[in-house]
Amino acid sequence: MDYKEAKPGRIFVARFDDSEDLLEGLKTIIKKENIKAGLIHLMGAVSKSKLVLGPEEKAYPPSPSWWEFDDAREVLGLAIFARENDEPKIHLHSGVGHYSESKIGCIREQCEVYLTIEAVIQEITGANITREHDSRYNASLLSIK
């Protein structure tokens, strides 16, 4: 375990519109506002996305089990992000649902907005938080200094 006290920084509120790419839009704000690390809360709907629902089996590094859809689904998400080689890396876990089917997973690739997504981005300051690739897990893990 690794941790350090940090402080809340600036807060941004964003609205994403139909057909926009959610992940690219979030990265655009993070870069434009020069946010090094933070949290994202979001809710709305998506029409096309690809999620990792977990590993295919417990192994290291894990082999992701991908699931994708191309219809309209409600979404509720929470993310933490930090920079890896000065690029924002967003770790976004979301619940998506349509009628009686709901899934929870990690949105890593495409995520197209359906109608709208509302997001709050909160900057984290007072600690040097970055992401570093860990080959054991083939994942970008938080580095807290």
Q: What is the pLDDT of residue 87?
A: 96
**64 in any annotated domain:** yes
**5 in any annotated domain:** no
Establish how many alpha carbons lie within 13 A of residue 9's alpha carbon, considering only the half-sphere containing its beta carbon: 18
Determine the structural domain holding residue 130 and report its residue range. 11-144
Question: 5-22: per-residue pLDDT in tens?
Answer: 999 999 999 999 999 999
Residues 6+ apart with CB under 8 A from 139: 61, 133
Question: 120-132: per-residue pLDDT in tens?
Answer: 999 999 999 999 9
Q: Which residues of 122-142 are buried (b: 16+ CB within 10 A; e: fewer)?
A: ebbeeeebbbeeeeeeeebbb
d(CA 15, CA 22): 10
**42 in any annotated domain:** yes
Task: State the alpha helices, DSSP H only, in the chain.
Answer: 22-32
Low-confidence residues in the chain, pLDDT < 50: none
CATH number at residue 133: 3.30.1330.80
- Domain count of the fold of the chain: 1
**4 in any annotated domain:** no
On average, the pLDDT of the chain sits at 96
User: Which pTM value belongs to this model?
Assistant: 0.94
**6 in any annotated domain:** no
Q: Which of 130, 68, 61 is nearest to 105 (CA)?
A: 68
Q: What is the pLDDT of residue 14?
A: 98
**45 in any annotated domain:** yes
Q: What is the pLDDT of residue 131?
A: 97
- The answer to whether 42 and 140 are in contact (CB under 8 A) is no
**118 in any annotated domain:** yes
